[in-house]
Amino acid sequence: MVTLKMSAAQQMEHFNSKFDELLSSLQQTRKESYVFIDANIDLLHLGCTDSQNYMNLILGRSYLQCVAKATRIQNNSKSLIDHILINSGCRDIFTGTLISDVSDHFFYICPKTLPNKN
């Protein structure tokens, strides 16, 4: 058995290719879909080529990233590496954060509608 080693750039290229195939397959169903992913691609740093390529892939397949704040904070570091992608059109998007010490990642919720204020 031959083991091929891939560089970080090759791994990212392979991931983007496979992820694009997945989003394309979902898109072809013409159904509303939500993709929850711990991508370890930091969307707080869109100046980075990997983050730019990933975001362009998402937008190119008509998905939106719902989470806009850091999903992981540790010491003085913060990152947005947990993503919720939707293709449900131009609805109002409401997301929330559940902070817990169960994990070093925060939990996010993405309800379809706001709860009643009664």
Domains of the chain: 9-109 (3.60.10.10)
- Eight-class DSSP state of 69: S
> What is the pTM assigned to this prediction?
0.77
**Residues listed for the chain:** 118
Confidence bin at 114 (pLDDT 50/70/90): very low
Task: pLDDT band for 44, please (50, 70, 90 cuts).
Answer: very high
Average pLDDT over residues 48-67: 94
More confident residue, 74 or 64: 64
What confidence tier does 49 reach under pLDDT thresholds 50, 70, 90? Answer: very high
Q: Helices then strands (H, E): number in the chain?
A: 2, 7
Task: Report whether 84 contacts 66 (CB < 8 A).
Answer: yes
Q: How far apart are CA 47 and CA 68, in angstroms?
A: 16
